[in-house]
Chain A
């Protein structure tokens, strides 16, 4: 079974986790000032990356906390997990 390293609980089986979509998408601070196109992009446009992808996960059946993970979408390998609010680590990719 795939083990995912929760930043709080350590390596745990994937059955305990749920996926929360792409990470690091900031909600516009003043939504009323955002045009329809930009708002649509905020709501719906996602990178859909092939390869490294920063995404939100929740340890639903564990500590129940959200955290971020860097996962390779082609191999399903988790390269890093980190707490929400921390910057995305850059691993194995051209900077």
Chain B
């Protein structure tokens, strides 16, 4: 049975810009932004999730949010870009358990098999009528980012699908 729990409080930033001009941002982040579609990268609690060819969702521990934002702003000052703090726009949920794929499949049309959706893959998609960001953090665990006003709906859908909600 899959368990749904709130994820740790997280800082969220949306970074948009031409990949070729974001080298400085990568130096500030400490790792390379994923350039391959639907892949994530990260070190020590900081992660970058590919959302589009010029769009990444950056996740970091809440405590370093201001410092990271300032560092990124300073590093990318010369490059055309957009860096928007969306920490309060959405919430994170963790869904884990042996039947996590079946639980998500109740509302998500993607192929969630490990071969088609490997660990580290992330994408925006739909869960029933809500838009979510789905990120596989290990074989039996998915991280879900959902806009705050949809979170009750998403919890409800996953509960109906058989998840234990805590």
Contacts and interface: CB of A to CB of B under 8 A. Distances in A.
B52 A16 contact: no
Interface residues on B, range: 10 to 19
B51 interface: yes
Contacts of A65: 52-53
A8 B109 contact: no
B110 A9 contact: no
Q: Looking at A1, A10, A63, A65, which has the most chain B CB atoms within 10 Å of its CB? A: A63
B124 interface: yes
Contacts of A61: 124-126, 131
Contacts, number: 36
B38 interface: yes
Contacts of B53: 8, 63, 65
B123 A9 contact: yes
A10 B55 CA distance: 17
Q: Is the interface of A mostly helix, strand, loop or mixed?
A: loop
B82 interface: no
A62 interface: yes
Interface of B: 37-38, 51-53, 55, 109-110, 123-126, 131
Contacts of A13: 109-110
A17 to B, nearest CB: 11
Nearest to A10: B37
A49 B110 CA distance: 31
A34 interface: no
A16 B127 CA distance: 10
A15 B110 CA distance: 10
Interface string A3-18: 0000011101101100
A64 B124 contact: yes
Contact of A9 (B37, B55, B109, B131): B37
Nearest to A62: B124
A63 B55 contact: yes
B37 A63 contact: yes
Given A61-B124, A62-B125, A63-B37, A12 B110 contact: yes
A65 B53 CA distance: 8
Contacts of B55: 63-64
